[in-house]
Chain A
Amino acid sequence: MLENLEQLKLKFNHELNLVETRDELEKIRVAFLGKKGLVTEELKNLRNLSGEDKKTAGMQVNKLKNEIEQAIVSYQTVIEEKEYQKEIESAECYDYSIPSENEAGTLHPITIVQRQIEDIFKTMGFIIEDGLEVQTEYNNFEAVNIPKNHPARDMQDTYYLENGQILKTHTSAAQNTIMRKYGAPKPGEPLKVLFPGRCFRNENIDASHENTFFQLEGMMIGDDISISNLIYFMKVLLSEVFKRDVKVRLRPGFFPFVEPGFELDINCAICGGDGCPTCKNSGWLELLPCGMIHPNVLRMGGIDPDRYTGFAFGLGLTRLAMMKYNIKDIRLFNSGNLKQLKQFTN
């Protein structure tokens, strides 16, 4: 019996060496360990023995059985590895350099710039408001202290509609509505609003003139808002917008809806303030109009100018986008030309 086991072992090793696939391995397993397998038969034969012999032989057969089982398991891993190897070696090699076809969509450049600015103002506690594009003459003019007969109201610049309304000429047209919506601010809780919007001027279009463009206006009204605060906010906000430590300079400027009114300059980014052709050698670039909200404007907005003060500022969003993306021709914005617009992947 023991010789028989030796022979079985030799036979198994011999046959295992010939195995190449999982199927062949399975056949060997059945041939040795299956219900009628050779090792199984030997186990059955044990019942013919007795005593010490049975015990010894039993141990030997079981040992052989374990050895074969283990050999099959480890050989299985080898075969699997071989098969993986084979699959990988025969795999098609893909050309990683083939361009990806799925083109991304884009946001309009105005949307991108507007969003960035809105985000900055939101972190400073500003509410963002939206105004109508078709406005009453009252909202666009009277309510922001531009009375009848003011040069700004000469017909030629403004689109007048059949019903007497107009297409808003500036974002300030929303001031009155916003003041009335929020009312007088509570002590220590100034009203901080940013209102971007599309504006219209009745003029012919060329590379630097559009009849339809975007502005962005902000205001802050409270019981103790001062010129000093205005300068602070402008400096901090503009440093964020331009991503550098901006120096600001105020000059007197006249706008009917503010008093005092200012032209705000920032130090030229190109020369750092030393003077260059971009800033006409002054070191400063005229950026935006701003000022303390005119008492008449507050009053018309239902806010008592004897108790409250506020500042307002306006920014040409279209102009800012042109600066940021180096756009030379303003007509791009309303062209719908995808060759141009699809470059604004953000």
Chain B
Amino acid sequence: MLISMNWISEFTDLKGVDLKELINRFTLSTAEVEDIYEMGKDIKDVVVGKIIEINDHPNSKKLHLVKVDIGTEVVDCVCGAPNVFVGAVVPFAKLGGQVGDLLIQEVKIAGETSKGMCCSEKELGISEDNSGLMILDENLPLGKDIKEIYQIEDTIFEVDNKSLTNRPDLWGHYGIAREISVLTGRPLKPLSLMDTSVYKDLDPIDLKVEEDEKTFRYSCITVNQISVKKSPVNMRIRLTYCGMRPINLLADLTNYLMLELGQPMHAFDHGKVSKIRVKTFSKPVNFLTLDGVERTIDTDTLMICDEKEPVAIAGIMGGELSEITDDTTSVLLESANFDGTSVRKSAVRLGMRTEASARYEKVIDPELTTLAIERFLKLLLEIDPGAKVTSSLTDCYVKKYETIMIRFDKTYVDKYTGIDISSDQIENTLTALGFEVRRDGNDFEVKVPSWRATKDVTIKADIIEEITRIYGYDNFEIKSTMSLLTPIRHDVNREDEYRIKQLLAERFSLHEVHSYIWYESKLNKEIGIVTEPNIRIINSVTAENDTIRSTMIPSLLGFVYKNVDHTPEMGMFEIGRVVEGLKEDGLCNERKKLAIVLASKKLSEKEVYFKVKDIITQVVNTVKNMKPTFSRDDKLKNYNYIHPINNASIYLKGENLGYFSVLNPRVRNKIDKKLNVVYAEIDIENLNKVVAKEISYLEVSKYPGVTIDLSLLTDKEMIYDTIAGYIKEYTCEYLKSFRLVDIFEDEKLLPGKKSVTIRFEFVSMERTLEGQEIQSMVDGLLELLKEKGIELR
């Protein structure tokens, strides 16, 4: 919002105030000032001049040679304005003067000498009007500097609208002036108003508020015999400087009042609108707004109507048919207060946020409506003394906000602020802001002024803000808290997450990625991934990505596809969220997962498979000090990207942690036929359920151990876990450990069989084992294995 300092100084004295410092204070205490514009500094030596003679220009039909009397002399000047006439009093820029970027010098225009320039309003920067010369009051003294007559020089500052969201009182100059008066410590002058009680005996307007849910207050009055069409220059300058286009007196006055008090007003042509009905329609209606657009109005949108026909969209925009025109001499003036939420929603639905609707959205003070009418009349009658008020002030006050009283004491303020602000200062600040303060020592009871009581200030904490922002946060003494020295809670799971990330990145050279929480359906289709239905987003702007993922694997496979052309050797991981359907209470079953994918063209599929298995084992072992077990089971879902044979579930202490799998060739070939891809998904929460094993140190034997490699002949289908299981059945206190050394397969040498070489270590804590003893242990083991169909090769 643009704020004029000239306008402000009408309400509070700014003489001798350092404006830059004031604006800085305003930013720190009230709202952010984004920009400061110095207006009129580029207008110099423009004086009142009278055109006393006009001659044709010998070389141009459009240009004229004019003589301008500027009091002290008569100056020759070439003028191209269409509205030039003898006797016209105009702003005249003298030699050496300045108009905007133009420095006035003696020049030849089409061969004729010009020693100055007659100016339009636009050239002076005071309006957009460039249709011709600005015609001044003929009684003005010739030669007088125009800046001494009109408020061309002004400081305009732009306040960030966002920072005014919760301050409905600051959407007009008077409210800003109140803040500034508090910041400068100077008084705020009362508004000059027209007393409307003198019209109380006139007939009221026929007004009915039929929709009282959406209306707080509707005030109106009619005025006839208005003859002045154009607003005074200073008013037009202010409107222009504050971003509004001057139109005609009545429209300008409504805008002026909105900028001054923050109260939107609307002027209907009284000849076309004589009754007011505030209502909604039971069926959608078409309505032509004053911007010339025909709109369909839905049944939730509050409308202002004459007898039957709509004449305005309440709080948003008037209609073209009842608009003020140059012929209008009588007006029905609306000053109303509509429900902010309703106006906002209507404005959003209609796609038309206006200056008025923006103010209603902020929930403005309903006390303003009659005040604005009284101010309007005051200004109108000053400008046009012949105008006649023809109705009483008609006012339907539907809903009044309750008076808000707040009690607090200094202790509360001290505790909240952490500093010592004196009770006197508290009282002074609140009083200056318009609060009625009742104080008993350090106890306060304050009444919130109506302009802050619509939603802004309701509780004690709001009072703290009022006191502290005026005190100034930059004046705060800053202090640490006093608290007991206590150990910080140690979050093992969170640490583990970082350890896993670090392990994957640093030891296994994987890259961490982030992917979206929904399936990217186009991409999935491209690489042939079929996902199961899951809970969906109902309003996504990218409608095709509306299904929340139940697994992260498609996301990562999508990344494999995106990277394969430039980085075929890749490893990626992500710790992210999925939703596995709904829980019993109807809420999403959100899970945290670790997904890993490895792809390679250099390594064989089998190598990649075992690399992934190794990674999983190391991940689990790093955080839990235990190795996971793997098995094939039927719990896996039948996703089309899972390899039906080369997959395995991961278990730890009975918890199912997830699975890993070779990429199904059907999907693989869509990504890249030569790419070997293996992926894994681990449920982090299930992993967290398992308590990590403590380190338990075992004494090492002082005596040498004996290792023996045995090559065992088994059926080809027998997996290592089975063999290991049999070996574990053999109870022998000296068999300390065993591990796989080699698997040898040769269809010719060992048809249907394979040779599995396992290294056994025998050791005793008490003595060196004898050769014979060991032999009998080996024999015992082999005997057991023989029963299981495993022979020594």
Interface, chain A (partner B; CB < 8 A)? 102-108, 110-111, 115, 122, 125-128, 130, 132-134, 136, 149, 151, 154-156, 158-163, 165, 167, 188-190, 198, 200, 202-204, 211-212, 220, 222, 224-229, 231-233, 235-236, 249-254, 259-263, 292, 294-295, 309, 333-339, 341-342
Contact = CB atoms under 8 A, between A and B. Distances in A.
Given A229-B480, A309-B415, A338-B567, A163 B587 contact: yes
Contact of B27 (A235, A251, A339): A251
B168 to A, nearest CB: 12
A107 B501 contact: yes
Contact of B511 (A200, A225, A262, A338): A338
Interface string B465-480: 1001100011011111
B562 A337 contact: yes
Given A260-B469, A336-B559, 17 more contacts: A104-B506, A106-B505, A107-B501, A110-B514, A115-B498, A125-B488, A127-B488, A128-B494, A133-B517, A228-B478, A232-B478, A233-B480, A251-B28, A252-B163, A260-B464, A263-B163, A338-B559
A148 B31 CA distance: 26
B508 interface: yes
Contact of B537 (A128, A167, A188, A336): A167
8 contacts: A106-B511, A115-B498, A167-B537, A224-B415, A226-B419, A228-B479, A336-B513, A337-B562
A345 B621 CA distance: 25
Given A203-B541, A212-B516, A259-B459, A227 B418 contact: yes
Given A105-B506, A105-B571, A226-B417, A249 B163 contact: no
B417 A259 contact: no
Contacts of B511: 105-106, 338, 341-342
Contacts of A161: 535-538, 548, 588
A334 B567 contact: no
A153 to B, nearest CB: 11
Contacts, number: 224
A158 to B, nearest CB: 8
B494 A108 contact: no
Contacts of B548: 134, 161
B512 A227 contact: no
Contact of B474 (A104, A249, A253): A249
B504 interface: yes
Interface string B405-448: 00000000001111100000000000000000000000000000
A232 B166 contact: no
Nearest to A185: B483
B486 A189 contact: yes
A107 B419 CA distance: 44
A122 B488 contact: yes
Nearest to B342: A149
A149 to B, nearest CB: 4
Interface string B255-285: 0000000000000000000000000000000
A228 B541 contact: no
B483 A105 contact: no
A295 B412 CA distance: 13
B558 interface: yes
Nearest to A291: B465
A53 B504 CA distance: 83
Nearest to A121: B488
B439 to A, nearest CB: 21
Interface residues of B, number: 86
B512 A252 contact: no
B464 A292 contact: yes
A190 B481 CA distance: 9
Interface of B: 27-32, 163, 165-167, 341, 344, 348, 361, 415-419, 459-462, 464-465, 468-469, 473-474, 476-484, 486, 488-489, 491, 494, 498, 501-502, 504-506, 508-517, 535-542, 548, 555-556, 558-559, 562-563, 566-567, 570-572, 577, 579, 582, 586-588, 590
B12 to A, nearest CB: 20
A107 to B, nearest CB: 5
Contact of B483 (A189, A333, A339): A189
A250 B473 contact: yes
Given A151-B344, A204-B542, A333 B562 contact: no
A136 B571 CA distance: 35
Q: Top 6 closest A-B pairs, CB basis?
A: A226-B418, A228-B418, A336-B559, A260-B465, A105-B505, A250-B473
A84 to B, nearest CB: 33
A159 B539 contact: yes
Contacts of A333: 514
A224 B516 CA distance: 41
B468 A227 contact: yes
A302 B465 CA distance: 24
Contact of A204 (B419, B541, B571): B541
A338 B570 contact: yes
A108 B461 contact: no
A105 B476 CA distance: 47
B756 to A, nearest CB: 32
B587 A231 contact: no
Contacts of B542: 204, 211
A224 B415 CA distance: 6
B566 A339 contact: yes
B22 to A, nearest CB: 15
Contacts of A262: 473
Contact of A202 (B478, B481, B540, B562): B540
Contacts of B473: 227, 231, 249-251, 262
A128 B541 CA distance: 33
A190 B483 CA distance: 7
B508 A105 contact: yes
B433 to A, nearest CB: 13
A266 to B, nearest CB: 14
B512 A106 contact: yes
A154 B353 CA distance: 15
Nearest to A136: B587
Nearest to B582: A163
B483 A132 contact: no
Nearest to A339: B566
A56 to B, nearest CB: 52
